[in-house]
Amino acid sequence: MADRIFNFSSGPAVLPLPVLEEVQRDLIALPGVGMSVMEISHRSSTFEAIIAQAEADIRRLAGVPDTYRVLFLQGGASLQFSMLPMNLLTEGTTADYLMSGYWPEKAAKEARKVGTVNETGSTKADGYSRIPSDDEIHLTPGAAYVHMTSNNTIEGTEWHRLPVVGPDVPLVCDASSDIFSGPVDVAKHGVIYAGAQKNLGPSGVTLVIIREDLLARSAKGLHTMLSYAVQAENGSMYNTPPAFGVYVLGLVAKWMLAQGGLPAMGALNERKAAKLYGELDRTGFWRPTAQRESRSLMNVTFRATSGDEALENAFVKEATAAGFDGLKGHRAVGGMRASIYNAFPEAGIDQLVAFMAEFERRKG
Ligand SMILES: *Cc1c(COP(=O)(O)O)cnc(C)c1O
């Protein structure tokens, strides 16, 4: 524990220490089982209990209605870019994609291989530095679904409202980088999906929450592993599920419940982000790259206001040496990115803020 540093990685990302400690404690042998979670049959009663508990805790955490199915799949959020249109974008229909960044571009690209896509609300002309406003969004009446990306991991922007979609149009959300970072109204969505490795657990497991009636759209001829209906019918165990990932994800869900659930996570994330943006706004030495009303609570992107890349590089280098890892921004934005997901400790924000102020005193 003494040698853990502050991990600002955008993903895979920091996990709660109590979860890692429990994994470590039970890694060789689960209590009462005498084998590790990686060595037991997924058809064993032990694993069935683990996956059932993980699902129950996610349902409790997010208040998932009974009319929704919770799936644990593989292939990351990126496979959902394909699986989603293969199941839901049926012949003769159009899917709307809200184009708020790099990841929605990737999602729309796969959907275009399947059917008709209407890309709308693009803020590309502004470098994706903001979320589109309602009047920039032009939806297709009777669309198969509307796809949004709730948090733009690379650009550091986040939706702080849900887009208004028609009453009969399912809203689909790629929530990979802000899932369960605060309260969520699952009932306003048709599908929510997220690769686990940012806010939920290790890589290798993808959470999909899907409204039951949408399963009827999965064509019978679909490849078996790519069918939501088949995955749901088989309780995510048509084949061997990502057992270790499901186990850790379950522990993370339990940890979130113990913190007070999503309202508590939301309050903590607001407080953490406010401290960091407060420091960025304090003197103008730094420039947050996201427009104010679109700022992400999860990925805080910023540059040196002077535009001096050597200064940015020096900051990242010195910060790394001081025990703040993963602050280099994505090449598309440049500068710095501090990813401060649920499990990122508030003490790490306090120490980074102090380090930034000291760096500015020396270089400003
Ligand atoms: C990281 C990320 C992805 C890609 O996730 P994989 O699980 O690696 O496929 C997709 N969407 C968003 C918003 C992301 O942050």
Contacts of residue 159, Cβ cutoff 8 Å, sequence gap at least 6: 100, 131, 148, 150, 151
Q: Which of 80, 151, 177 to probe ligand 1 with, by most ligand atoms within 8 A of CB?
A: 177
Do 293 and 212 share a domain, yes or no? no
CA-nearest residue for atom 2, ligand 1, is 176
pLDDT tens, position by position, 271-285 = 999 999 999 999 999
Q: Please tell me if the CB atom of residue 104 comes closer than 6 angstroms to any atom of ligand 1.
A: no
Element (H, E) at 105: helix 102-112
Domain that holds residue 358: 261-363
Q: Is there a contact between 181 and 160 (Cβ–Cβ < 8 Å)?
A: no
Q: Please tell me if the CB atom of residue 202 comes closer than 6 angstroms to any atom of ligand 1.
A: no
**Ligand 1 centroid from CA 138, angstroms:** 25
Q: Is the dihedral of CA 214, 94, 223, 208 positive or negative?
A: negative
Number of domains in the chain: 2
Cα(6)–Cα(338) distance, integer angstroms: 10
Tell me, yes or no, whether 2 lies in a domain. Answer: no
Q: Which atom of ligand 1 is nearest to the CA of 11?
A: 1
Q: Which of 198, 254, 272, 328 is catalytic?
A: 198
Do 87 and 205 share a domain, yes or no? yes
Asked whether the whole model's pTM tops 0.85, one would answer yes
Q: Is the dihedral of CA 287, 289, 290, 295 positive or negative?
A: negative
Q: Please tell me if the CB atom of residue 11 comes closer than 6 angstroms to any atom of ligand 1.
A: yes
CA distance from start to end of the chain: 35
CATH classification at residue 121: 3.40.640.10
185 is catalytic: no
Tell me, yes or no, whether 12 lies in a domain. Answer: no
159 is catalytic: no
Contacts of residue 220, Cβ cutoff 8 Å, sequence gap at least 6: none
**Ligand 1 centroid from CA 195, angstroms:** 6
Q: Which of 176, 249, 296, 339 to probe ligand 1 with, by most ligand atoms within 8 A of CB?
A: 176
Q: Please tell me if the CB atom of residue 176 comes closer than 6 angstroms to any atom of ligand 1.
A: yes
Residues of the chain with confidence (pLDDT) below 70 = 1-2
What pLDDT score does 167 carry? 87
Pick the closest to residue 75 from 110, 34, 45, 50 (CA basis). 110
Q: Please tell me if the CB atom of residue 326 comes closer than 6 angstroms to any atom of ligand 1.
A: no
Q: Which atom of ligand 1 is nearest to the CA of 154?
A: 15
Angle between helices 261-283 and 346-363 (to 10 degrees): 0
Q: Which of 103, 159, 255, 286 is catalytic?
A: 103
**Ligand 1 centroid from CA 243, angstroms:** 20
Q: Please tell me if the CB atom of residue 103 comes closer than 6 angstroms to any atom of ligand 1.
A: yes
Token representation of residue 98: 């809200």
Contacts of residue 54, Cβ cutoff 8 Å, sequence gap at least 6: 72, 246, 247, 249, 250, 253
Cα(160)–Cα(157) distance, integer angstroms: 9
Q: Which of 174, 254, 286, 328 is catalytic?
A: 174
Q: Which atom of ligand 1 is nearest to the CA of 206?
A: 7
Domain boundary among 195, 224, 259: 259
pLDDT tens, position by position, 333-354 = 999 999 999 999 999 999 999 9
325 is catalytic: no
CATH classification at residue 300: 3.90.1150.10
Do 73 and 194 share a domain, yes or no? yes
In which region does residue 153 sit, left (phi positive, over 0), alpha (psi from -120 to 50) or beta (all else)?
A: alpha
Do 48 and 176 share a domain, yes or no? yes
Q: Is the dihedral of CA 331, 315, 307, 128 positive or negative?
A: positive
* Residue given tokens 């939501």 in the structure block: 228
Angle between helices 243-258 and 261-283 (to 10 degrees): 80
Do 252 and 267 share a domain, yes or no? no
Domain boundary among 259, 282, 317: 259
Do 57 and 105 share a domain, yes or no? yes
Do 204 and 113 share a domain, yes or no? yes
What pLDDT score does 1 carry? 53
Cα(146)–Cα(173) distance, integer angstroms: 8
Tell me, yes or no, whether 7 lies in a domain. Answer: no
